[in-house]
Structures are given as structure tokens and as C-alpha cells.
Amino acid sequence: MSARGWTDIGSDVNWKDYGGRWARHIDGTRYHVLRFENCAEWGDGATGYHCDLAEVDVASPQLEKALGCSGLSLEDMADIQEQHREWAKVDALASYGAAAALWQDGGPNAHKLMRAAKAESRMLERDAAALDERLDRPVNKIGSTAREYAAGDINSAILRGLADRNPAAEIMAKMGMLQVVVVR
């Protein structure tokens, strides 16, 4: 498959009915991951499809934890064929949630959603300013940016939130979610 193509990293043969996940190498250690789901299969009465695009970095500090959650270790990676090693890392990071959300949409047309997600990936690959804007936008209630979320950094958002008197950040700090590093 070409460097610009998408590699199946976890799809059913019938992806329209049962969903799937594909990834493609962007540059260096960065990959885009496309996830597709049939909402009717969720069992909550939803109809239509959902598709999202995220970015993972296989140099993430979250990699060892992500591999552990997927049943692998860094040592196990030596046993995986080299051509599949990076895809295993990408899949583990995306499954673990160490991914920066870039785009999402839903609708009744599966093929249209897939085309839109792939077009978004190509646009963000070409437009560094648009990519930075997506990575620096808040993606949760405490205000973590997509970049921080992918790195597992909640401290930055909690500290910003405390300074801004964000009730969600205050709750997170009270719960002990703020990890203070003491340097001696």
C-alpha cells in the first residue's frame, strides 16, 4: 500500500454494518486514525453512522501503557514483524485513547462520511495552521486541548481552569486529579 493510503488496523469484513478503524502515516511518528461505526449497532435506538478522525504519535509517552492495555509490551513488539509493528502501536494508542480528536461527523451515508474524513485528513496534512488550530482547541469540560489529551496531560487544563475558576477544574483538583511534581 502506498504511503498515502489507508491501512486497515481493526475492521470487520462488513465495515458498514459492524464498523472499523483505518490508519495512515502522515510523517515522522504521526498517524491519522479513522474510526467508523454503525450507530444502529449500538442498541440505543440510534440510526445512521458516525465517523471520526484522530491523530496519534507513536513516540507518545503513553505508548507503554497503551500497549499494556492491548495485551502487549515493548518486549512483545520485537516478536511482531517489522511491517506490522507501527500499526500495532497506532492501534494500541488509538484504542487506549491517547489520540488527539481532529474531526467527527455523523449521517445516513457511510461512503459520504468516509470520503469526508479522508478529505479532512488530507487537508490537515497540507495545512499546518489548521492542524495546530485543531490540536490546540479544548476537547473536554476541564479544557484539555486535543494535544494535551493525546499526551495524557490533565494538569495543564486543571491549572488553567483553577486560574479561571472553572468549576469542573476545581472538582478535578479536589478529587486529587492534579498531579503535583515536587522538585528537590
Summarize pLDDT for 101-120 with one digit per residue, the tens.
Answer: 999 999 889 999 999 999 99
Phi-psi region of 71 (alpha: psi -120 to 50; beta: other; left: phi over 0): left
Contacts of 103 (CB under 8 A, 6+ apart): 52, 53, 117, 120, 124, 134
pTM of the full predicted structure? 0.85
Q: Order of strands, edge to edge, in the sheet holding 100-107? A: 7-8, 20-27, 30-38, 49-57, 100-107
CB-based contact 93:56 (threshold 8 Å): yes
Amino acid letter at 64?
E
Q: Per-residue pLDDT tens for 4-58?
A: 599 999 888 889 888 999 999 999 999 999 999 988 766 666 678 999 999 999 9
Tracing cell 459492524 back to the chain, one arrives at: 18
Q: For residue 139, what pLDDT is reported?
A: 94
Does residue 177 or residue 145 have the better pLDDT?
Answer: 145
Q: For residue 1, what pLDDT is reported?
A: 37
Does residue 77 or residue 177 have the better pLDDT?
Answer: 77
Average pLDDT in the chain: 88
Q: Which CA distances in Å does 13 have to 8, 9, 20, 65, 128?
A: 10, 12, 9, 29, 34
Domain boundaries, the chain: 7-136
